[in-house]
């Protein structure tokens, strides 16, 4: 069974500062995708960023970037210049080779302090 | 924009009732999913469907069934609701090829079984 581990149940960051959320996963595959999803309070879950495992370059979407360490099976999310709207649950997810379903981590609740 | 609509945001039912949770997507996606979200447990897959009338069990199918008679609609059925099925239920959809495809989520249905 695929496993995805988010070791930080809760984190906080000062507004305008940088925070990194960690995620590790278990796989024997060489080519796959990884995802970070964001779920704001009482709002629907949306994709933050996606990484292809065979790409050397870390994915970036505006203030969001990943640190993908394939050998270590680590996929952390960095949020720069944190804003109040970044406060949410963040989930790391891994689909597995050719799998329709996503396996999610248990989530990290991020609070942003004004 | 992809839209995934869940028929109810909040639902209160009594033990033993038959409960239907409805989900509709408007992007002609082949795949549809039902997840259950509980604090500290993340998202767990109940069932998914990769085509009309096709379904596959996820990680926690016990006590649930599904129906997909039309491509855009995927229903989750609790045959006899129990208090341990009180939870947040999320529907999602994605394109057919599973590799790397983004899942799009509905806003969720918070079900309380009394």
Q: Do A9 and B40 touch (CB under 8 A)?
A: yes
Q: Give A55→chain B minimum CA distance, Å.
A: 13
The strand ranges marked E within B1-114 are: 4-6, 10-13, 19-25, 31-38, 42-49, 56-57, 65-70, 73-78, 87-94, 104-105, 109-113
Q: Do B41 and A105 touch (CB under 8 A)?
A: no
Tokens 């549809």, located at residue: B32
Neighbours of A112 (CB within 10 A): 20
CB of B41 closer than 8 Å to CB of B104 = no
**pLDDT over 70 (residue A97):** no
For an interface test with B, which of A101, A103, A106 has the most B Cβ atoms less than 10 Å from its Cβ?
Answer: A101
Q: What is the mean pLDDT of residues A67-90?
A: 95
Set of chain A residues whose Cβ sits within 8 Å of the Cβ of B4:
44
Interface of chain A against chain B, CB under 8 Å?
9, 33, 35, 37, 43-47, 50, 52, 91, 95, 98-102, 104-107
List chain B pLDDT tens, one digit each, 114 residues: 669 999 999 999 999 999 999 999 998 999 999 999 998 888 999 999 999 989 999 989 999 999 999 999 999 999 999 999 999 999 999 987 766 778 999 999 999 999
Distance CA A24, CA A7 (A): 8
User: B89 at the A interface (CB within 8 A)?
Assistant: no
The DSSP 8-state label assigned to residue A72 in this structure reads T
Set of chain B residues whose Cβ sits within 8 Å of the Cβ of A46:
105
Q: Do A91 and B90 touch (CB under 8 A)?
A: no
Q: Do B42 and A45 touch (CB under 8 A)?
A: no
Q: Do B58 and A43 touch (CB under 8 A)?
A: no
């Amino acid at each position: 069974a695929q496993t995805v581990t988010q070791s930080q149940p809760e984190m906080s960051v000062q507004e305008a500062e940088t925070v990194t959320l960690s995620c590790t996963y278990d796989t024997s595959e060489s080519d796959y995708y990884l995802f970070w999803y964001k779920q704001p309070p009482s709002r629907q879950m949306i994709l933050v960023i996606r990484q292809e495992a065979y790409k050397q370059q870390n994915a970036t979407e505006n203030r969001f970037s990943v640190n993908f360490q394939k050998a270590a099976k680590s996929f952390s999310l960095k949020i720069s210049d944190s804003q109040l709207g970044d406060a949410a649950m963040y989930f790391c997810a891994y689909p597995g080779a050719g799998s329709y379903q996503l396996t999610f981590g248990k989530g990290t609740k991020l609070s942003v302090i004004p | 924009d992809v839209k995934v609509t869940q028929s109810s945001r909040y639902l209160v039912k009594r033990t033993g009732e038959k409960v239907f949770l409805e989900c509709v997507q408007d992007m002609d996606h082949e795949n549809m999913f039902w997840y259950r979200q509980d604090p500290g447990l993340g998202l767990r897959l109940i069932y998914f469907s990769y085509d009309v009338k096709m379904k596959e069990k996820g990680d926690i199918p016990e006590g649930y069934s599904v129906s997909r008679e039309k491509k855009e609609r995927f229903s989750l059925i609790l045959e006899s609701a129990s208090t341990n099925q009180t939870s947040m239920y999320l529907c999602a959809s994605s394109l057919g090829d599973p590799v790397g495809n983004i899942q799009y989520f509905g806003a969720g249905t918070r079900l309380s079984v009394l």
